[in-house]
């Protein structure tokens, strides 16, 4: 095996054809522009590879939360976040190009645009961004080839990573083992799916200031399914499991599940950083001009960045945390289940 042949360098190193050179109007920075975007697309391919493998593990009929499989999921989600940090840092290289350098070849690119990156749109769908959650629904596939639209639509109709995480969370067994909760004390029994959540609701209510009482309505809606229900990605049962993992993450069995949830938040954070960095770079390069693909440029990117949070509901769990010292004391039997001996 030869290094050059293994990496198919003949194909890669001969895949840059600046439009400015074809027109005999050479623009020095167009080669940089091409290589950076090719690198982005290669990283998007790797992100698909990692996300697909995580979905494959989560889609199994059962998943031992104290197993190498869960460690593999956590590791690969961490890799995704690291790759996304690289995507953000690549902007540093792009910004060595001045607006005048870009203008040397910008108009030659029309109507090509980064908006036509079908891999990125497919990745968003694979992670869990639904069509109805997108900004500019009527426009987001209008510039794509029909074959690429089909790829994105297929991803939107398949079960996403977020949906598989919902199913995984719903499988949490601790609350189904009623005998372990027989001696659990509740201050004010409420209509709740389990005594623990009646007690946690009481503790949460006690932690609220007078100006935060509306938060209790949100608690009942989010975790107990009461009142008017907005469209959610996570079910009340899954959301309760995610909150339980967050507040008792110090127990051995919950450490990896917490890292999984935290990994999803890190991915969302890096995606957000990339979108905002991209938006600021576009504003720096072209100001308020229309994008080469016909979008409104910075304004479109800002609206998408503000709206496209995929794991928003996991992040919102922090609104319902209480101090450690005020957490309900778990029964001894449940504590044992949360140790390595009681792995599920």
pTM of the model: 0.90
pLDDT digits (tens, 9 = 90+) for 264-277: 999 999 999 988 88
Decide if 301 contacts 278 (C-beta within 8 A): yes
pLDDT digit string, tens, across residues 274-316: 888 888 888 888 776 655 555 555 666 777 667 778 999 999 9
Query: Among residues of the chain, what percentage have pLDDT more than 90?
Result: 65
34 annotated as belonging to a binding site for a ligand: yes
Q: Is 35 annotated as a binding residue?
A: yes
| Distance from the Cα of residue 151 to its chain's centroid | 20
Q: What are the distances in angstroms from CA 10 to CA 4, 44, 173, 179?
A: 8, 22, 54, 66
pLDDT the model gives residue 342 = 46
State how far the Cα of 81 lies from the Cα of 50, in Å rounded to an integer: 11
Is 134 annotated as ligand-binding? no
Q: Please tell me the distance from the alpha carbon of residue 122 to that of residue 172, in angstroms, as a whole number.
A: 30
Question: Length of the chain, please?
Answer: 344
Choose among 238, 220, 240: nearest CA to 230: 220
CA 156 to chain centre: 15
pLDDT value, residue 290: 59
Residue 267 is labelled as binding a ligand: no
Closest CA to 161 of 82, 63, 264, 81: 264
Pick the CATH number of 19-342 from 3.40.47.10, 3.40.50.1000, 2.40.30.270, 1.20.58.480: 1.20.58.480
Q: What are phi and psi of 329, to 5 degrees?
A: -80, 125
The mean pLDDT of the chain is 89
Angstrom distance (rounded) from CA 325 to CA 111 = 59
pLDDT score recorded for residue 339: 86
Cα gap 128→123, rounded to integer Å: 9
Ordered by start, the domain boundaries in the chain are 19-342
Residue 85 annotated in ligand binding: no
308 carries a ligand binding annotation: no
């Amino acid at each position: 095996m030869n290094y050059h042949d293994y990496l198919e360098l003949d194909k890669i190193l001969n895949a840059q054809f600046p439009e400015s050179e074809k027109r005999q109007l050479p623009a020095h920075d167009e080669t940089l522009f091409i290589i950076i975007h090719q690198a982005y697309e290669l990283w998007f391919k790797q992100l698909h590879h990692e996300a697909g493998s995580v979905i494959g593990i989560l889609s199994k009929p059962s998943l031992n939360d104290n197993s190498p499989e869960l460690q593999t999921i956590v590791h690969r989600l961490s890799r995704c976040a690291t790759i996304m940090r690289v995507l953000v840092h690549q902007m540093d290289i792009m910004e060595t190009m001045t607006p005048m350098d870009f203008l040397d070849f910008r108009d030659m690119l029309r109507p090509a645009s980064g908006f036509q990156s079908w891999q990125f749109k497919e990745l968003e769908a694979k992670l869990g961004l639904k069509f109805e959650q997108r900004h500019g629904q009527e426009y987001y596939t209008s510039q794509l080839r029909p074959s690429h639209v089909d790829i994105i639509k297929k991803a939107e109709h398949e079960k996403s990573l977020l949906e598989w995480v919902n199913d995984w969370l719903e499988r949490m067994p601790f609350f189904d083992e009623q005998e372990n909760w027989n001696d659990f004390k509740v201050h004010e029994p409420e209509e709740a799916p389990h005594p623990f959540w009646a007690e946690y609701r009481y503790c949460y209510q006690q932690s609220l200031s007078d100006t935060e009482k509306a938060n209790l309505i949100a608690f009942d809606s989010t975790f107990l399914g009461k009142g008017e229900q907005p469209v959610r990605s996570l079910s009340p049962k899954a959301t309760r499991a995610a909150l339980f993992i967050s507040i008792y993450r110090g127990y051995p069995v919950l450490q990896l599940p917490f890292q999984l949830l935290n990994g999803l938040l890190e991915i969302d954070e890096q995606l957000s950083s990339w979108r905002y960095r991209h938006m600021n770079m576009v504003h720096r390069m072209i100001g308020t001009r229309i994008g080469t693909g016909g979008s409104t440029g910075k304004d479109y990117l800002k609206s998408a960045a503000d709206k496209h949070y995929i794991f928003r509901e996991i992040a919102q769990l922090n609104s319902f945390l209480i101090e450690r010292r005020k957490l309900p004391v778990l029964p001894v039997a449940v504590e044992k289940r949360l140790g390595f001996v009681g792995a599920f």
